Chains A and B, each alone.
Chain A
Amino acid sequence: MSLLLQLILNGILVGAIYAVASAGYALTFSLNLNNFSYGSTMMLGGYVSYVVLPRLHCSVLANVLVLVLIGLLAGSLTYWGAVKPFIKTKFSVIPATLALSVITGNVVFMLQGSDSFSIRKYFSAPKIISAHGVVMTDTRLCLLIAALSIVVIIGLILRYTNLGLKLRAYADDETAALTMGISTKNILWYSCMISCVAGVLAGFLIAFDFDLEPFSGTGLLIKVYTATVIGGAYYLTRVAVAAILIGVIENLVAGYLASEYSLASVFIFLTLILLFKKQGLGKQGLIRAV
């Protein structure tokens, strides 16, 4: 019983980090833009933290500031390098962003080699909190809170700012947004930037707890993409719930079967959802939470 609880708890933690990433991905996905370099952007977030943190004397706040800058930069690079030149052709954005992903992965590979990296070692050993046979560390608790608050912040940006309103209008109906006098010229750029900031922050959170390597982008992307598809992209809360579910399922499968099946189990979950709701969980009834 305590194993089950422990696995679910771990799953919720991982899922919350996926939720941050998926919330960012859903931003561009709902604008009909598939940014396949997103996984590498997440990995980049982890790598930058790995390089920068010791030089900042492990100040997390300063690192977050650096990461936000990197995220804005990565978003702009994605938009101007791999989205804008190719957006006119229907099928071109996916290969272009994949190419960008390959470039990011290999540049980090040249700098770092194939070794995995994690920022766990920069911090002192975490304090262990245990109750009813379920173990939790204080780092993980902080991660969970941080992840959930980033999701909430993205939600607030979408709900209450002018930019968020524009984004939602554009996602709803591009032409209608144009006719209502919303300048849609740079909307994709802004959404890319916000999404990439969420991506690098998610990468930073992942690097706290797991080992990353230069090519772990694809695996991350697949999970984030699946969560976004299951959540239906238009509803941030549903995307977050889907991401947490994916984290839990992954952990349960890894705990009771074998960790190799975890990605496959995510896909089987996706298949089951798509069998009954072919639009994922999105777009039916309820008030939009975004």
Chain B
Amino acid sequence: MDFLINILELFGIYAIVTIGLNYQIGNVGIMYLGQIAYFAIGAYASGVCPVILKAAPIPSMIIGVLISLSLAYASGKIFVRLSGHYLLIASLGITEIVRSLINNSVVTGGAQGITITGNFFGQNFFAAKHEMVFLVFACLLLEIWFFASLKNSPKGRLFAALKEDETLVRIMGNDPIKLKIQAMMITAAWSSVAGSLFAHYSLYIDPTSFTINESLLLYIGILIGGLASLKGSFFAAFVLIIIPVVLRFVQLPGSIVSAAHQLFFAFLILFILKFYPNGLFSNNYGTHTK
């Protein structure tokens, strides 16, 4: 039971990231993969702030969100004029820069990582693990509600228009640059929240969880799930979290077990891309065929 709840928590945390990323890439059309950087910032804010600022978990989480927002604003200002491949590589750069700063800084414990002290439900509440699942899913529901209402708000329609035609948005008297930065900041904030939850979930974090590979995996996940679709985001989280767990039950010789998992994953990607080029749960909103 504990095991199942753990998996559910991790699934929820990843779903929070993928929903944000999917909104940004699928609905707004910004190919920016810096999410893992904000995820790391959120996680480390939850790890470091209680130690050096003696802050409670919730304020630490908010500090993480604020740092992520400012980084998203700054990197948005720099990168927003780029498009396509250029934006992609630049966003991977943000991830790597944040990771190597964390890896080499004293405050964050460097490569050794850091143990999370304090939890959302009081200092000595050892059963807090089970409460985490409610917290994670509360955040997840809040996020789903947030993006659902954003989609139907005037701002959300502007974001959707931005994906279709940037010039049109400009003609209507809106600044596409400003809108793009806003979209980046929104997803950055949610990724940071997910990062804080992740820190409290795993109770120990180190820089190896926040590499470029993770960013690319998330990106592949939402592509095979389907852009601009909620089911697609859930599928991405499912593929990234649940499938490795399920595969753990298949008995394989120890030496090839990790390789076999990754091979399975790779062939799954190729299979889905071949037969569902727009992703499994694409709602055909703005088909991506040339």
Write the residues of chain A forming the contact surface with B, with a CB cutoff of 8 angstroms.
29, 34, 81-82, 85-86, 88-92, 94-96, 98-100, 102-103, 105-107, 109-110, 113, 218, 222, 225-226, 229, 258, 260-261, 263-264, 267-268, 270-271, 274-275, 278-280
- How many angstroms between the C-alpha atoms of A81 and B256 in the bound complex? 24
CB-based nearest A residue for B211: A218
Say whether B265 faces chain A, with CB atoms less than 8 Å apart: yes
CB-based nearest B residue for A258: B104
User: For residue B168, which residues in chain A have a CB less than 8 angstroms away from its CB?
Assistant: none
CB 8 Å contact bits of B161-199 with A (1 = contact, 0 = none): 000000000000000000000000000000000000000
- How many angstroms between the C-alpha atoms of A89 and B154 in the bound complex? 30
- How many angstroms between the C-alpha atoms of A92 and B265 in the bound complex? 16
**DSSP class of B's interface residues: helix, strand, loop or mixed?**
helix
Q: Which residues of B from 228 to 274 have beta carbons under 8 Å from A?
A: 255-256, 259, 262-263, 265-267, 269-270, 273-274
13 extra interchain contacts, Cβ-Cβ under 8 A, other than A29-B85, A89-B289, A278-B86?
Answer: A86-B277, A92-B277, A99-B265, A103-B266, A103-B267, A109-B259, A110-B259, A218-B216, A222-B92, A229-B86, A267-B90, A267-B92, A270-B89
- How many angstroms between the C-alpha atoms of A278 and B227 in the bound complex? 27
User: For residue A88, which residues in chain B have a CB less than 8 angstroms away from its CB?
Assistant: 277, 289-290
Nearest Cβ on chain B to A74's Cβ, whole angstroms: 16
CB-based nearest B residue for A106: B259
- How many angstroms between the C-alpha atoms of A74 and B106 in the bound complex? 44
Q: Is the CB of B259 within 8 A of A91?
A: no
CB-based nearest B residue for A257: B104
Say whether B288 faces chain A, with CB atoms less than 8 Å apart: yes
Q: Which residues of B from 79 to 136 have beta carbons under 8 Å from A?
A: 79, 81-82, 85-86, 89-90, 92-94, 96-97, 99-101, 103-104
Q: Is the CB of B277 within 8 A of A99?
A: no
Q: Among B90, B216, B269, point to the contact of A271 (Cβ < 8 A).
A: B90
- How many angstroms between the C-alpha atoms of A226 and B89 in the bound complex? 7
- How many angstroms between the C-alpha atoms of A161 and B97 in the bound complex? 42
- How many angstroms between the C-alpha atoms of A225 and B85 in the bound complex? 10
Q: Is the CB of B85 within 8 A of A34?
A: yes
- How many angstroms between the C-alpha atoms of A229 and B92 in the bound complex? 13
- How many angstroms between the C-alpha atoms of A81 and B212 in the bound complex? 24
Given known A-B contacts A91-B223, A106-B262, A99 and B267 have beta carbons under 8 A apart? yes
Given known A-B contacts A34-B85, A229-B89, A278-B82, A96 and B270 have beta carbons under 8 A apart? yes
- How many angstroms between the C-alpha atoms of A229 and B82 in the bound complex? 12
Nearest Cβ on chain B to A255's Cβ, whole angstroms: 16
Write the residues of chain B forming the contact surface with A, with a CB cutoff of 8 angstroms.
78-79, 81-82, 85-86, 89-90, 92-94, 96-97, 99-101, 103-104, 212-213, 216, 219-220, 223-224, 227, 255-256, 259, 262-263, 265-267, 269-270, 273-274, 277-278, 288-290
CB-based nearest A residue for B289: A89
Given known A-B contacts A95-B219, A222-B92, A229-B89, A100 and B78 have beta carbons under 8 A apart? no
Nearest Cβ on chain B to A197's Cβ, whole angstroms: 23
Given known A-B contacts A106-B262, A222-B212, A229-B86, A271 and B100 have beta carbons under 8 A apart? no
- How many angstroms between the C-alpha atoms of A263 and B104 in the bound complex? 13
Given known A-B contacts A96-B270, A110-B259, A271-B78, A264 and B224 have beta carbons under 8 A apart? no
| CB-based A-B contact count at 8 angstroms | 120
Q: Is the CB of B90 within 8 A of A270?
A: yes
Given known A-B contacts A102-B266, A270-B89, A95 and B100 have beta carbons under 8 A apart? no
CB-based nearest B residue for A279: B86
CB-based nearest A residue for B99: A264
Q: Is the CB of B213 within 8 A of A95?
A: no
Nearest Cβ on chain A to B223's Cβ, whole angstroms: 5
CB-based nearest A residue for B98: A264
- How many angstroms between the C-alpha atoms of A23 and B259 in the bound complex? 31
The residue in A99, A110, A218, A225 that gathers the most chain B C-beta atoms within 10 A of its C-beta is A99
CB-based nearest B residue for A105: B262
Q: Among A81, A94, A218, A274, point to the contact of B86 (Cβ < 8 A).
A: A274
User: For residue B262, which residues in chain A have a CB less than 8 angstroms away from its CB?
Assistant: 102, 105-106
CB-based nearest B residue for A95: B220
Q: Is the CB of B290 within 8 A of A267?
A: no
Q: Is the CB of B89 within 8 A of A225?
A: yes
User: For residue A34, which residues in chain B have a CB less than 8 angstroms away from its CB?
Assistant: 85
Nearest Cβ on chain B to A35's Cβ, whole angstroms: 12
Q: Among B78, B259, B266, B269, point to the contact of A275 (Cβ < 8 A).
A: B78
User: For residue A225, which residues in chain B have a CB less than 8 angstroms away from its CB?
Assistant: 89
Q: Is the CB of B79 within 8 A of A89?
A: no
Q: Among A81, A90, A91, A264, point to the contact of B101 (Cβ < 8 A).
A: A264
Nearest Cβ on chain B to A86's Cβ, whole angstroms: 6
Nearest Cβ on chain A to B161's Cβ, whole angstroms: 19
- How many angstroms between the C-alpha atoms of A85 and B288 in the bound complex? 15
Q: Is the CB of A218 within 8 A of B277?
A: no
- How many angstroms between the C-alpha atoms of A103 and B266 in the bound complex? 6
Nearest Cβ on chain B to A99's Cβ, whole angstroms: 4
A–B pairs, 27, beta carbons within 8 Å: A88-B289, A88-B290, A90-B289, A95-B273, A96-B273, A98-B220, A99-B267, A102-B263, A102-B266, A103-B266, A110-B259, A218-B213, A222-B212, A226-B89, A260-B100, A260-B103, A260-B104, A261-B100, A263-B96, A264-B93, A264-B96, A264-B99, A267-B90, A267-B94, A271-B93, A274-B78, A275-B78
